[in-house]
Structure 1
Amino acid sequence: DSIYLQNSKGESYKAQIVHTDPSKDLAILYIADKTFKKAKSLPYTFKTSTSDLGEDIYTIGFPRDEAVYGQGYLSSSTGYAGDTIAYQISVPVNPGNSGGPVLDSRGNVIGIISGKQRGIDGAAFAIKTKSILNALADIPSDSLVTGLKINKKNSLAGLPRTEQIKKMQDYIYMVKVY
């Protein structure tokens, strides 16, 4: 299989799998395309503390060829059937949103969308950032082309939501497998 990541401008870049965690349905990808220009720094951070019930959240994903925004709240501190590695969120989720970020009002990533419950509108699930950070830490060092750095500075905090979304769109990619 060939994996490509497509940005909001329609540009595609070849990617490769660096690490997977099938139990959490996570895959860490690396853009291996020589034409890709990596960012100096990311605008967001990963929230390391647990998010609160009722917290306002939003998503940006690619259920279509353009980015789609969704707004909602954290509805449970556990996922499907009490799964402690996930949150239940009340945000409209469509096919194509899976793997997209879930952000809090300050622009911190609190998780990534992992799916939704069939037959129940508004019941979606997101893998918590703790599991994402654990998966990143589990990557064998010989699998990395360069060192892995986790951003510690959030440049989205304090910005209006519309500005957060504009800044985030350049860092969210649609995954295409051929």
Structure 2
Amino acid sequence: MNPLIRLAGFTTALVAIVFTIAAPKAKAADTAPSFTFASIDGGTYDTAKWRGKPVLVVNTASMCGYTPQYADLQALSDHYGDKAVVLAVPSDDFSQELGSDAEVKEFCELNYALTLPMTTIAHVATGKVDPFYAWVAKTEGFKPGWNFNKVLIGPDGRFVKAWGSNAKPMGAIKDKIDAVLAAGKS
């Protein structure tokens, strides 16, 4: 065989090996670890108990222009029942939440008849950020820029998608949850 052809073949193989070794690796932390949230009703929510279901986590606020989305979040929770979880995480990071957990709970019950799971007031973007939101920021580069940002975690514990405040729970988000459930993603 011609030495130039042999050298070209060797060089091509060597370049392929170098690029394979140097290629970025897939994220090791694709699956969300188990997180514990303090419940506004007392006790805790452990996300490990929700594995096998899509989980929509929404940072909320009681005095925001997007607050009426609570009605759609409750409708979404009612629609899926035990097939999916909608978790509200009240936050005052954007200075639009009431002063106490008790006030938030009363406001949501009186104005929206909320029964979906809700945490105590937490930091989602500033200060000592809740571990779930810190994980999403670190692994996905997503940090809530305002109230009513939504993060969907699949039944397998993997990040699926995040949406901003404008995304309607009963629109594109419901469609995505339906697709995740239909795919049997676990």
Q: Give the structure-2-normalised TM-score.
A: 0.31
More helix by share: 2
Structure index of larger Rg: 2
* More strand by percentage: 1
**TM-score of the two chains, using structure 1 as the length reference:** 0.32
